[in-house]
Amino acid sequence: MKILAKKTSLSGNIVVPGSKSHTIRALILASLAEGVSHISNPLPSADCLSASKAIQEIGASVEFDNKNNIWTVTGAGKNAHLPSNVVDVGNSGSVLYFFTPICATFEGWSIFTGDSSIRKRPILHLLEALKQLGANCYVSRPEENAPPALVQGPIKAGKVITDGRLSQYISGLMMASTLIDGKLEIELTDPKEVPYLDMTKYWLESLGVQVEMSSDYKRISITGPYQLKSFDKAIPSDWEAVAFPLIAGLITDSKIVIDNVDGSGTQGDDAIVSVLQSVGADIQWNKETSQLFVTGGNRLSTENLSEKTLRVNLAGFPDAICALAVIACFIEGKTVLEDIGVCRRKETDRIVVMKSELEKLGAKVEEGEDYLAIYGNSPLLA
């Protein structure tokens, strides 16, 4: 395949798709609810479709109205049960880490697997947490910290102490708490990706679940069980998807409007707006109309920042690494993306991949264990 790319300008309005993170949470909670839920503006991505298949294994059903962009979920409710088959999560780490604790609340064995990438994703941190609550857990390959994984429940109320550097399994435990009789206490020694914990808290509280979460995210507790009720909710736009037209507009002589932008504060990736504004990006966010107004062509520079360096801590929104690494090549000065060690444990090692691919284009990039340093005004700009 040959792809020819030419610099051009963009104009007009664009609507980005719904959030993957919100869609998967909506599907799973709808599957646990009693009654019929309607999810509008879902993201029909492979990961979300994997979630829709997984929830059918515990007794829920899904109907897809692609014309009107509505998914209808008939929840399993009180009849939710042990998966009737091996749970294949496809390529979705979210489904793996969310669904495993939920299935661990049922009596019996559940088996989880996925594609070749998932079968390399770390899972022992989750299994160790479940063991603290009484589960029996194994990986099928003793020498590998990865699925296929086997989990025997039911887990019981109690206290879990874990690092929490990957937020997804913490969200999974929070959702599983609705099926547990008693108080689940989660103590995190090094919480990361905390906006995603806020997102899970937001969803649970919207369905009547009382969540206690400390301001430093190190203590979370929920007392169950809860019988969730069905709901009708719209999925907000995906900030990870907003980032790409946003930077495309900024690095070209463009003027675009991004519509249906989520201003709820439940997605940490919205921090990209203030990050780019700090180096001179012309971005106006009208939260009343849910629109971003983006004007490109401005000079982007770190000259007015301390140390003449743009330092971005991505612990709360690590998925922004790809977009920010690209636009950093167009920012005069040095940009350092910090606290991104978790990006090595995604579907690929994103630190290695971004460094390798940007260097092919002439960018100057330095890699550390948990950071990337990108120098602007590299030959990439020529």
Could you give the residue numbers annotated as active site? 319
User: From the CA atom positions of the chain, what is the Rg in Å?
Assistant: 21
| CB-CB contact of 188 with 218 (8 Å) | yes
Query: Helix 239-250 vs helix 321-328: angle between axes, to the nearest 10 degrees?
Result: 10
Rounded Cα distance between 165 and 116, Å, is 23
What are the φ/ψ torsions at residue 231 (nearest 5 degrees)?
-150, 160
> How would you classify the pairing of strands 158-162 and 182-188?
parallel
Query: Does residue 148 have a cis peptide bond before it, meaning omega lies within 30 degrees of 0?
Result: yes
Query: Helix 20-32 vs helix 93-103: angle between axes, to the nearest 10 degrees?
Result: 20
37 sits in the region (left: phi over 0; alpha: psi -120 to 50; else beta) called beta
- Amino acid found at 67: K
Rounded Cα distance between 3 and 6, Å, is 10
